[in-house]
Structures are given as structure tokens and as C-alpha cells.
């Protein structure tokens, strides 16, 4: 049987067709990206059938790749005979295995062009070293075995509200919802504003709010559709593909009863929300984020509020959320004073005594211990998944991974991410060494399930890494979760490794503490300003950990990581690279087009994530008295080196004097199309209100000396590493 994937998925809902498919010896599908849910459903009814995934645009005379799927990974296979293929970056340079680029197809089957359309022909058909290639527009990457993985379309990877979104990823998650037969996700303009719109057919009725909740468990907030439409049948083209152009406009969820603003301040915020979101009216209790607001649009709210004399921080908007909530909030100074008072009143003497033992003498006098069997939280995160892989490579014990559930089963989600980062689903390890427990650190009952197997060390990578968020969601995971982990380790008698951040150094406000204060591994609180929800939560988690050491005798260590960057060996970066603040800052400079000369001389810490994972496991084995470490690269580089590396990939940022930069920066802030991408530069600019503030530095001298004694040294981030990293970002269209 030969059919398109979307049509095959819809046919499977018919019992008679499902029964017929179960008797097929071979089922070949092509013409679209092969969704994992299709493979799973076919395997469930036809375990012995050969499932073929074929690929080939019409412009290359149909077929150019083909493979039998085994389940380990969905690829389109290697090029067929008489077909040559390249995966290239934006400049047409060949990319190594694992790096995403555009697929170019060459060979005898490549067409001569588009009849009567020379401009389109010139754009899509190119010559390289005497071979004619068709630029497919498909994003893909090579595996080490020479097969091609198709990740989506260049035109399917859209940009919405400043964020790059892969529509196919959303469709895969939506297709996994029980009862969903077929689906499509597109961008539509509704009431003058672009929305992600989901269309679906289903065997049962779904309320839009219920679908949003389900999708939110597996997708980032900005990737969750805001409009939904249940259809009897998705429109199809004559070739059997979903006809996206024929999809009707869906309706947004009905608004609640309108509440008029009661004060001038509420009225100002209603007007600001309406302007930023492109809506006619805003109720005083309308939630900015429920109406489609994003963290990038928060930038415009801050700017417009300043024009009305209202000083806001990013955190204020995430906590206030509605016009009435923002109007009722206390001033930023009140928040600072309250936080400072709480930290000053805490008794730190027991913690300081513990930190005083954190010396090289303690290392020399003690003995290193094995990690044994490990429990790992946050295993699907950028650092967590590299710790998992490093443990599997360097240790022989069992590892339990705590993974949040959702539409996609926890183990499948973890294996999918392992395949993404390492091109290996680790089937043998899951059969013999890895156990997945579904849940998170906020659930004590779920944590207790880890105790069903022997645990010698618990490594807590779980964290809400948003620097600004609504309500108590950050504290629930970053503080409450750590409290639960400490209780578990105390009851089980196992070692606890808390992953923290050097950002707990906080800020100096009006030179208090002095701006030259440096956070060492023997310090926790020294009067630093912690008026940032994320940093404050990580500080409280450290305090809980050290307090448990001092008062309950828990065997615990803290790893304060720094600027986690791309892998050293191949330049692979985090899957959600759009959320990284450092590269976001680089993009902000690129949008402005300028960078001050002073910034070029600033040092930047580039700590490869794979090296960090190795360092953390080394440090986790140290004697019990060695408590706090800064596993950060001791070989810093200059921002100027990064700007130069970007220039080699066509990303040019012009250095200039500070007054010229400030003028360009001010102009960009008032450009709605630019302001949303300047968030990394202004997010913390008024964290302390009108008071002079600066971020405090940290040192890693003690940790580096410890690592030398453990046989570990950090790699020097040279131009080759920077080139691979910046080239990968550029190739993914991060700066587009």
C-alpha cells in the first residue's frame, strides 16, 4: 500500500481499514513528514508489517530517499542510487552530522526548472561543483550512519511574536491527544493579530480549554495554540495532502464579562494592553498572557508604562498580569525592602560554619566516594540529559529519571530527546539501566516511588528557569521541590546534589554590598540584592540545602553552574535555544546593528554543557565536607571574539561609541517590531528601580583546583568552537 501519511492516519480511524492494514505485508508512506504517532499506531495493529518511509519532491522526479522504519528513529534513509545530497548552512557550506541545515538534492532526476518562471527556477535550482541541485526547503540533518532526518520545512518553521516555532512539533503533540484523528496547525490573523490556530478531527468532543491544558504539559507556552476548530474532515488537495489554504478562520475562546477600569491607573494599563495586543477593548480583569501576550511583548508594556510615568519591572507584569492587578501592586522599592529584610533577619551562623569547612584541606583529609545508583530529576533539560549520558558512559550503576508526564509518555519523551541530542535512543540502557518515573519534584508521593529501588545519590536538575513568572510557580519547583528532595535523602540516607547557579551572587545596589565583592564557594549571603524571582528561589534552595546539612546531617553538595553553552565536541546547543539569555543578548545587538566598544572588552564565560556534566559527576564524588562548587570554565573569552565569529557567518554588528549606541538603542526601543527582541538587554535594566545597580561576579578558583586534583581540565573555547556554535545558530535562522 502506498499513501500519504496524513491520509493513512485518518483511514486508521475506520475499523475496517485498520483491520485491512493489519494484514498488509508492506505499507509505504510518503509526501509528508512521518509523525511518530503514526508509527506507534501502525506498530500496534501491524507489528510484523514492513513500514516504509519515502521522500522525494516532485522537482527531483519523485523519489530520492527511502528506508524501512525500525522504531529506533524516524529517518528518510540514505540517498537512493543516482542521487547525491547535501545538507548546508545559509551560505551553502556543507554541515557535519547532527547539525541542522537545508537539504539540497542532486542527481539525474533533478528537473530543469519551473516552466515559464525563470525567477523561481533561479531561486530553487543551483549549481555546485558542476552538479545541479534542487533546494528542497526542508530542514534536515545527517546521522552518523549516513541517513537523513527531516525536521520540517523552512516555511513550516515560522516566527510568531519574535519566537521561532516549528508547526510540525505542535501537530505531533496534538495528534497524540486521545481521540484526535487528524490535525493541522497554521498561523491565522484574527482581529488584526496573528494566532496559532489548531484544526482537528476527533472521535470525541474536546473543549478548547481542555486541549490547551493538555498541550501545555508538553509544549512551551508560546507554542500552545490560542484558537481551535473541530472539523468533520480536514480539506485535502487532489494528491491527498492537507489543504492548508482551504482551512476556515477559527474563533477565539469567548471573552468573560467586561469589567470597566475603576481608576486612572487601571485605565492606563487597559489602554496599554489594548495597544500592545492589537485589541479594541480590555477588561480590567483580562489576563495579559491569556490574551496572547508573551515575555517579548512585556518589553513594550514596560516602555509604554514609562511614557505614563509608571515604572515597572518585568517581574511586576508577570505577577500582576491584569490591569487591576498591576494597578494594585506595591512599588518595586517595597518589594526590594521586604526581600532584603527577610534575608537580613535569617540566622546564618550554622550555614557559615559549614561553608568554612569547604576547603582543599578537607579534600586532602577525606576520601572520594562512588556515586552508586542515581536518581536524576530534570533529566529532559539541557544539563540534565547530558548528566544522564555522562553517567551511562562513566558509571555502571542504575539510574532513575524523574520525568514530567503529558500527552507524550514520559519515557518516549526522554528517549526522543536523547535521540535529538545524541542520535541514540539508548534502547539497551532503558532495558537494563534506566528506569523512568513519571512525575515531578513537587509531588512527595512520586518522589517516594524512587525509593522502591536503591538510591545512593540524588542529582536535582529540576528547575523552573524563568526569571519572571506569575504566581508561585517558580517557588513551587525551585524551593518546594528541593525541600521534598532533601526530605527524601534524609529518609533514605543518600547523597543530595543540588544544581544551582552562580547568579545567586545577586546584585550590588548603590554599592551595597561593594561592587567589587566576588562570590566564592565559601559564601552564601553577604547582603546582595536578590530581587529576581528565579535567583531568589535558587538562593532559598541553597539555604535549605545547607541548613539540612547543618541541622539534619544530610550529605549534600551544591553545584553553581554558569553560562551553559554548546557542546565542546560538535557545537550542539539546547533544543529551546530561543530561551537562552546570552544568545538572546547577541540577537538584540544584531537587531540594533551596533554594539558599544566598551562591551567588546567584556569577558564572557562559555562553559560547554558536556564538559559541565563531566565536572559535576567528578565533584559529586568528593568527600562529604566539600560542599559547594562553581563548575564554570576558567578560560573566559571576550565579547569581541564572539562578535568576530558571528561576522564570519554573515551576522555583522558594528562597534561604535557609547553615545552612538545609546541613540540607536533608544530608537529601537520605540520600534514595535524591534522592541520585542530587545528584552534580554532591558529585562534587568530597572530591576532596582532608579537606584544604581550592577551584577556581582563569582570566582571558581577553589573548584578549578579541586578539578585539577580529580584529573579534569576545562577546554579552551577557541575560534573553532565559536565558529561551530555561531554557525549552528545562524544556520537555524536564529538571527533572521
Rg of the chain taking only CA atoms, in angstroms: 27
CB 278 within 8 A of CB 307: no
Question: Where in 551-600 does DSSP place strands (E)?
Answer: 556-561, 564-565, 594-596
Give the model's confidence band at 686: pLDDT under 50 very low, under 70 low, under 90 confident, else very high.
Answer: very low
Q: What is the pLDDT of residues 194-208, one digit of tens each?
A: 788 999 998 887 888
pLDDT value, residue 693: 66
- 596-611: average pLDDT: 94
More confident residue, 340 or 638: 638
Does the pLDDT value for residue 379 go beyond 90?
yes
Please give the CATH topology (third level) of the domain spanning 157-252.
Answer: GMP Synthetase; Chain A, domain 3 (3.30.300)
Kind and range of the H or E run holding 724: helix 719-731
pLDDT value, residue 148: 94
596 contact partners, CB below 8 Å, separation of at least 6: 655, 656, 657, 658, 661
Phi, psi of 39 (to 5 degrees): -60, -45
Distance CA 149, CA 331 (A): 52
DSSP tag of 517: -
Does the pLDDT value for residue 315 go beyond 70?
no
Does the pLDDT value for residue 64 go beyond 80?
yes
Looking at the DSSP assignment, which residues form a beta bridge with residue 132? 127
Does the pLDDT value for residue 16 go beyond 80?
yes
Does the pLDDT value for residue 49 go beyond 90?
yes
Highest average pLDDT, of 173-182, 401-410, 435-444, comes from: 435-444
Which residue is associated with the grid cell 521534598?
484
DSSP tag of 176: T
Q: Mean pLDDT, the chain, as a whole number?
A: 86
- 407-413: average pLDDT: 83
C-alpha cell at 261: 477600569
209 contact partners, CB below 8 Å, separation of at least 6: 253
Min mean pLDDT across 429-433, 464-468, 541-545 is at 464-468
Does the pLDDT value for residue 338 go beyond 70?
no
Kind and range of the H or E run holding 332: helix 332-345
More confident residue, 2 or 126: 126
C-alpha cell at 198: 489548531
pLDDT value, residue 256: 53
Alpha helices in 593-699 (DSSP H): 597-600, 609-620, 639-647, 658-669, 672-675, 679-682
Does the pLDDT value for residue 343 go beyond 50?
yes
pLDDT value, residue 54: 93
Highest average pLDDT, of 209-218, 464-473, 681-690, 709-718, comes from: 709-718
CB 566 within 8 A of CB 586: no
Does the pLDDT value for residue 331 go beyond 50?
no
Give the model's confidence band at 612: pLDDT under 50 very low, under 70 low, under 90 confident, else very high.
Answer: very high
The CATH number for 264-329, chosen from 3.30.565.10, 1.10.3720.10, 1.10.1200.10, 1.20.1430.10, is: 1.10.1200.10
pLDDT value, residue 199: 94
Give DSSP secondary structure letters for 203-236: SS---HHHHHHHHHTTS-GGGS-SEEEE-SS--B
Alpha-carbon torsion angle 82, 87, 93, 98, nearest 10: -130
- 33-50: average pLDDT: 86
Q: What is the pLDDT of residues 510-548, one digit of tens each?
A: 778 898 999 999 999 999 988 778 899 999 999 999 999
pLDDT value, residue 736: 73
- 469-476: average pLDDT: 69
Considering the entire predicted model, what is its pTM?
Answer: 0.66
Which part of the chain has CATH 3.40.50.12780?
2-151
Kind and range of the H or E run holding 133: strand 131-142
- Side by side, the strands of the sheet bearing 180-190 are 180-190, 193-202, 227-230, 251-252
Give the model's confidence band at 320: pLDDT under 50 very low, under 70 low, under 90 confident, else very high.
Answer: confident
Closest CA to 638 of 676, 603, 607, 611: 603
- 309-325: average pLDDT: 79
Does the pLDDT value for residue 691 go beyond 90?
no
Sign of CA dihedral 159, 161, 164, 167: negative
Min mean pLDDT across 377-381, 405-409, 585-589, 621-625 is at 405-409
CB 354 within 8 A of CB 550: yes
Highest average pLDDT, of 8-12, 237-241, 377-381, comes from: 377-381
Please give the CATH topology (third level) of the domain spanning 345-569+606-635+699-715.
Answer: Rossmann fold (3.40.50)
Neighbour-count burial for 283-316, b at 16+ CB within 10 Å, e otherwise: bbbbbbbebbbbbbbbbbbbbbbeeeebebbbbb
Looking at the chain, the whole-number percentage of residues with pLDDT higher than 90 is 45
- 568-588: average pLDDT: 83
pLDDT value, residue 303: 84
Does the pLDDT value for residue 6 go beyond 90?
no
Give the model's confidence band at 66: pLDDT under 50 very low, under 70 low, under 90 confident, else very high.
Answer: very high
Does the pLDDT value for residue 229 go beyond 80?
yes
- 54-81: average pLDDT: 88
Length of the chain measured in residues: 736
Sign of CA dihedral 174, 179, 181, 187: negative
Does the pLDDT value for residue 72 go beyond 80?
no
pLDDT value, residue 677: 72
Does the pLDDT value for residue 193 go beyond 80?
no
Class of domain 2-151: alpha beta
Does the pLDDT value for residue 261 go beyond 70?
yes
More confident residue, 436 or 727: 436
- 214-226: average pLDDT: 79
SS3 at position 530:
coil
Which part of the chain has CATH 1.10.1200.10?
264-329
Does the pLDDT value for residue 257 go beyond 70?
no
pLDDT value, residue 336: 46
pLDDT value, residue 289: 74
Distance CA 44, CA 478 (A): 39
Amino acid at each position: 500500500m502506498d499513501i500519504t501519511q496524513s491520509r493513512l492516519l485518518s483511514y486508521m480511524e475506520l475499523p475496517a481499514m485498520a483491520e485491512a492494514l493489519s494484514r498488509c505485508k508492506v505499507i509505504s508512506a510518503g509526501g509528508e513528514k512521518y509523525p511518530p504517532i503514526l508509527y506507534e499506531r501502525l506498530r500496534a495493529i501491524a507489528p510484523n508489517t514492513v513500514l516504509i518511509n519515502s521522500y522525494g519532491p516532485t522537482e527531483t522526479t519523485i523519489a530520492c530517499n527511502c528506508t524501512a522504519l525500525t522504531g529506533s528513529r524516524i529517518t528518510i534513509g540514505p540517498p537512493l542510487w543516482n542521487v547525491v545530497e547535501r545538507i548546508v548552512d545559509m551560505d551553502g557550506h556543507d554541515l557535519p552530522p547532527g547539525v541542522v541545515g537545508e537539504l539540497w538534492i542532486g542527481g539525474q532526476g533533478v528537473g530543469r526548472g519551473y516552466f515559464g518562471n525563470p525567477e523561481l527556477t533561479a531561486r530553487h535550482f543551483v549549481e555546485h561543483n558542476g552538479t545541479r541541485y534542487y533546494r528542497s526547503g526542508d530542514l534536515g540533518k545527517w546521522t552518523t550512519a549516513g541517513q537523513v532526518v527531516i525536521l520540517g520545512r523552512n516555511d513550516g518553521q515560522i516566527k510568531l511574536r519574535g519566537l521561532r516555532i516549528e508547526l510540525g512539533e505542535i501537530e505531533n503533540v496534538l495528534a497524540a491527544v486521545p481521540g484526535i484523528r487528524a490535525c493541522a496547525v497554521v498561523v491565522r490573523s484574527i482581529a488584526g493579530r496573528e494566532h496559532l490556530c489548531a484544526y482537528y478531527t476527533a472521535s470525541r468532543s474536546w473543549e478548547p480549554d481542555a486541549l490547551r491544558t493538555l498541550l501545555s504539559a508538553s509544549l512551551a507556552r508560546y507554542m500552545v495554540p490560542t484558537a481551535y476548530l473541530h472539523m468533520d474532515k480536514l480539506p485535502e488537495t487532489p494528491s491527498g495532502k492537507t489543504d492548508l489554504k482551504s482551512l476556515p478562520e477559527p474563533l477565539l475562546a469567548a471573552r468573560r464579562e467586561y469589567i470597566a477600569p475603576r481608576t486612572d491607573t487601571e485605565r492606563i494599563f487597559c489602554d496599554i494592553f489594548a495597544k500592545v495586543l492589537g485589541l479594541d477593548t480590555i477588561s480590567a480583569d483580562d489576563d495579559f498572557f491569556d490574551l496572547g501576550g508573551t515575555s517579548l511583548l512585556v518589553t513594550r508594556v514596560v516602555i509604554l508604562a514609562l511614557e505614563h510615568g509608571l515604572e515597572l519591572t518585568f517581574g511586576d507584569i508577570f505577577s500582576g498580569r491584569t490591569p487591576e492587578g498591576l494597578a494594585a501592586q506595591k512599588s518595586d522599592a517595597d518589594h526590594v525592602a521586604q526581600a532584603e529584610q527577610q534575608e537580613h533577619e535569617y540566622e546564618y551562623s550554622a550555614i557559615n560554619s559549614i561553608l568554612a569547612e569547604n576547603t582543599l584541606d578537607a579534600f586532602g583529609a577525606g576520601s572520594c566516594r562512588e556515586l552508586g545508583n542515581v536518581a536524576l530529576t530534570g533529566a529532559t533539560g539541557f544539563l540534565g540529559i547530558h548528566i544522564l549520558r555522562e553517567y551511562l558512559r562513566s558509571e555502571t550503576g542504575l539510574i532513575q529519571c524523574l520525568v514530567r508526564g503529558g500527552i507524550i509518555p514520559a519515557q518516549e519523551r526522554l528517549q526522543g530527546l536523547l535521540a535529538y541530542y545524541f542520535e541514540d535512543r539508548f534502547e539497551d540502557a532503558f532495558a537494563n539501566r534506566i528506569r523512568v518515573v513519571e512525575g515531578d519534584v513537587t509531588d512527595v508521593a512520586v518522589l517516594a516511588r524512587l525509593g522502591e529501588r536503591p538510591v545512593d545519590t540524588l542529582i536535582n536538575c529540576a528547575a523552573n528557569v524563568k526569571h519572571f513568572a506569575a504566581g508561585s510557580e517558580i517557588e513551587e519547583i525551585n524551593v518546594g521541590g528541593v525541600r521534598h528532595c532533601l526530605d527524601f535523602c534524609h529518609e533514605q540516607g543518600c547523597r543530595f546534589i543540588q544544581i544551582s547557579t552562580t547568579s545567586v551572587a545577586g546584585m550590588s545596589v548603590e554599592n551595597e554590598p561593594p561592587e567589587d565583592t566576588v562570590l566564592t564557594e565559601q559564601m552564601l549571603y553577604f547582603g546582595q540584592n536578590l530581587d529576581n524571582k528565579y535567583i531568589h528561589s535558587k538562593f532559598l534552595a541553597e539555604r535549605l540545602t545547607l541548613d539540612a546539612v547543618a541541622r539534619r546531617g544530610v550529605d549534600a553538595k551544591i553545584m553553581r553552574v554558569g553560562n551553559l553553552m554548546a557542546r565542546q565536541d560538535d557545537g550542539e546547543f539546547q533544543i529551546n535555544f530561543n530561551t537562552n539569555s546570552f544568545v538572546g543578548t547577541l540577537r538584540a545587538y544584531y537587531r540594533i546593528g551596533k554594539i558599544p566598544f566598551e562591551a567588546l572588552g567584556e569577558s564572557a564565560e562559555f562553559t560547554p554543557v558536556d564538559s559541565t556534566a563531566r565536572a559535576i559527576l567528578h565533584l559529586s564524588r568528593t568527600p562529604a565536607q566539600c560542599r559547594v562548587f562553581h563548575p564554570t570554565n576558567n578560560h573566559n573569552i571576550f565579547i569581541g571574539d564572539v562578535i568576530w565569529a558571528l561576522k564570519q557567518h554573515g551576522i555583522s554588528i558594528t562597534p561604535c561609541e557609547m553615545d552612538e549606541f545609546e541613540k540607536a538603542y533608544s530608537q529601537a526601543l520605540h520600534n514595535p517590531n524591534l522592541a520585542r527582541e530587545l528584552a534580554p538587554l532591558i529585562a534587568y535594566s530597572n530591576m532596582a528601580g532608579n537606584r544604581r545597580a550592577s551584577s556581582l561576579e563569582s570566582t571558581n578558583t577553589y573548584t578549578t583546583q579541586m578539578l585539577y586534583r580529580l584529573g579534569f581540565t576545562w577546554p579552551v573555547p577557541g575560534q573553532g568552537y565559536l565558529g561551530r556554535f555561531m554557525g549552528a545558530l545562524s544556520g537555524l535562522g536564529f538571527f533572521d
